[in-house]
Amino acid sequence: LSLVPLTAVAEVASRLGWLDDERLRRMLVLAAFSIFTLLMAREAVGAIERLRGANLVGISRLLAYGVFVASPTLWIGVLGYGHIELPMTLWLVLLAVRRLAGGRPAAAGIFFGLAMLTRSLAALPLIPMGLLLLARGRWRAFLWLAGSATLMVALGLLPFLLADPTDTIYSLVTHRGRLPVGGGSIWQLVAGTPYAWVPQHADVLFVLGLGVLASLIVLRARPDLEPSSRDIYGLLALTALTLPLLAKSVWPYYFFDAYMFGAVWWLGQPDPLAWGRRLIGAAVPLIAVIGTLLTEYEMGATDQRIRFPEGIAMGVVLALLMAALAGRLRSKARPGIPSPLPGRP
């Protein structure tokens, strides 16, 4: 999907005579795609306001925007690795969650489908939302959500499949299985052993499987959880953590989804700076930033004595964070905390 605005930017660059100048071309692309960063931040701040039941004003609103726009994970992913689609993906996912909270599963599915066309791993946040509808017996809403998402993905991929089916399937399905276990991953424990083929060919299945398991563990204990609930963003953060935990090669921007959902969940609480169990909300974006910086550091290291301990240590920290977060989400909100406003249609 990011090819659509990128093509338009390329046309503008061509008319300006900037196509052959890498610096001018890069400046134009980043300037154009910064619009999606602002849209993403606006959607995130809007979610916080709905969860708190009040609008943010003054310095509070400015700081809230800063949390998302100035995220180190975002800047490293976009500027350092060229993943200009990151803010577009998260904007579409947050928009999909709002639409589902507003009782519009078909529209939510369309936005989820568009998000998956920008980045295939955008299917991960669809897992808890779909399972939530199934757990509540809302089969019709689930079918609208899954059906519209599938239709959008199919329509988006159809031109590529018709033009070059071999390379399309290779890039989407078979390419990843040929990549070895890399740095930053807890799977380094089996690298060089007869079991190395497991993460090499099936790490995505482990990521998705753990996302399903984590979602079911929380949903079974929380019959009160709804798409408009505050803790739904905590559940999205929980499932997002499965990617940097179980991916066979961890890149710094793999922490971005967890950072975004965790920050919305944390700042959406009535008193985000309160001590106690609510402080775990702050731990999610904080550890996501630490994980981003450590992973970025070990990317440039050639010494296995640095890459191996970093990957294992980060895996242990993420596992502990997921366990603590799941425990927090399984407990209901304490009495006296106001319920969030329903999502806007």
- Give dist(CA 76, CA 220) in Å, integer: 37
**Every domain of the chain and the residues it spans:** 3-330
The pLDDT of 42-53, averaged and rounded, is 92
Q: In the prediction, which pLDDT does 339 show?
A: 42
pLDDT at position 71 is 92
pLDDT of residue 116: 94
14 touches 64 (CB < 8 A): no
Does 238 score more than 80 pLDDT?
yes
Alpha-carbon distances, residue 251 vs 64, 166, 244, 290 (angstroms):
26, 27, 8, 13
pLDDT value of position 99? 95
State which amino acid sits at residue 152: M
**pLDDT of 258 above 50:** yes
- pLDDT tens, residue by residue, 169-178: 887 777 777 7
User: What is the pLDDT at residue 336?
Assistant: 41
Is residue 118 over pLDDT 50?
yes
User: Could you tell me what percent of the chain has a pLDDT over 70?
Assistant: 91
Over residues 40-56, mean pLDDT: 91
- Checking if the pLDDT of 24 tops 90, the result is no
More confident residue, 344 or 245: 245
Residue 342: closest CA among 47, 143, 40:
47
Range with the lowest mean pLDDT among 24-33, 44-53, 128-137, 247-256?
24-33
